[in-house]
Structure 1
């Protein structure tokens, strides 16, 4: 395995040199499908509070956690260990997780597609701390999409109305200690379904990206950075100009097997009825349209959730 360091992009440039920020971020996405964002401004204390609430929940007894399994295809509440399986993988992932989604007002047209959140009563700070993190990453994601739009030579705010009520999900992930070698790994090789993913907690080794030459590249970001990657929805919209890159989380080295791993990916989604139709500016003689049949974001999501055994 080849080690690499994707050059971090400072979010300070968003205000100081937006064009430069957009170019650097877009170039990283175009090359790797991934970018590392430092200086993002999320307060350490608030991020730590959300992480502590996450750890407190996963420390609860199994029978208590399973009270929060709800029939929404894993979109809300708790998904137990041993359920999610990467597409076409023979073995389930070594993880359990919690999902929070967008809160919608009564009567919202998407309420039949986006179920209400559930909350654990055993961890009293969980609601406030986790909801803060959802909102913070949602806001950051919209700004990242401003840079992506500019990189694609679209109106800077092209994506604003495509994701403002998106079916975005915050996943709180717990990978337990790995006691021995085996066929299962923490997260099998996969691509993300959504528009972009923003990930906190990648400092603990394990995240790897499949590079163009077939080599796995380790992602080892500076502490506190956000790792951001392109999802399948944006790859489809851009006719593969921005790639949704295969990635995985491998098991730890022997000296780290006794340690759990926690991370918090935010899966930013289009609005459910948004039609994913290839951008005309991403099609030309050398790049014919690879996705000639449009599909709504909700249809695409359900198709993929069935593939990974969450529906």
Structure 2
């Protein structure tokens, strides 16, 4: 059974719609979060020139020679800068890789909020790292910064919609997100010319994983590759409609809602056409919450028929650090047992 990613127009929240219009959007988001966990949104308000600029910036950087790109690489514990191909394995963030193989063939560049963006707060620099900007791609920083700001606005709008959809008081999540760990990861799925690679079923663009935080705002090419796990255990292709952004839930939201809304497993399989890998680009804005926020299951999601699936509270820092230790440092995450079971049951 295939799944359909629903499309929701969020204009009512972007342009101060009526109470009834906003209620209709919140109800549609609630339904989509319960049934799929992936959503396409329109009416988000990001101008096309900014998404075009983001794509241009990515093209400018990723076209650089590999050895030059590697000069912007940071250690695994720093979630900024360049990631070369085959230096990560996203499935290890769930602890399901048979061996500690770093085999995902994508390359990426990460930027995010640093501690200097929150003057007056004593934030740990190991999480709120300052950015590494590539001077070899002079158009990169201004175009990426412009998109980052708008993607953050959309993420905060989605949290506002979540608040209404869950029947929570206005501003409920503010204290969890006022110095949120926000990261934009720009991904390039391609292999340099002359790379010796076997185009077989084991070649992985990005391994099976769930996102870590509250919500992800995803811009992507309309090139096939992204696959979402359905409730029947099948993998389903997903690509955005014209002008749409893809939204998916992260683990923190799954914990908060006692899996009434579940973080959806997804992966990227290499788009192979005529025996070659077709290039694919995406940019994921992760809105993960404050590093020191304590995440506990919302009481209204617990009852006799729905016992608490996450009785042990966890901080955002604890959760994200375990996941990153898997994907970036090769240490399998043994705490993601529920998500790992879903991967292992997939067809």
State the TM-score, normalized to the length of structure 1.
Answer: 0.94
| Cα deviation, residue 256, structure 1 | 8.2
Matches within 5 A, 1:11-160: 11-14=10-13, 15-16=16-17, 17-71=21-75, 73-85=77-89, 86-87=91-92, 88-90=96-98, 92-105=103-116, 106=119, 108-112=121-125, 113-160=127-174
CA apart distance, 1:245: 1.3
Query: How big is the shift at 1:108?
Result: 3.1
Q: How many equivalent pairs are there?
A: 310
Instruction: Report matched runs for 1:204-243 at 5 Å.
Output: 204-243=223-262
- SS of the aligned residue for 2:155 comes to helix
Structure 1 gaps of 5+ residues are none
In 2, Cα distance between equivalents of 1:31 and 1:213? 12
Change (3 A) 1:253 1:69: closer
- CA–CA separation in structure 2 for the residues paired with 1:216 and 1:234: 22
CA RMSD across the alignment? 1.9
Q: Where does residue 274 of structure 1 map in the other structure?
A: 293
Which residue of 1 is the match for residue 328 of structure 2?
309
The answer to whether the 8 A contact 1:79-1:96 is kept is: yes
Q: Residues 200 and 224 of structure 1 are in contact (CA less than 8 Å); yes or no, is this contact kept in structure 2?
A: no
TM-score (norm 2): 0.84
- Counterpart in the other structure of 1:189: 208
The superposition leaves residues 39-70 of structure 1 with CA deviations (integer Å, 9 ceiling, x where unpaired) of: 21211111111111111111111121111112
What is the CA-CA distance between 1:282 and the residue it aligns to?
Answer: 1.1
Q: Once the 2 structures are TM-superposed, how far is the Cα of residue 119 of structure 1 from its aligned partner?
A: 0.5
Which residue of 2 is the match for residue 10 of structure 1? Answer: 9
Q: Distance in 2 between matches of 1:302 and 1:263?
A: 23
Q: Are the aligned partners of 1:100 and 1:170 in contact in 2 as well (CA < 8 Å)?
A: yes
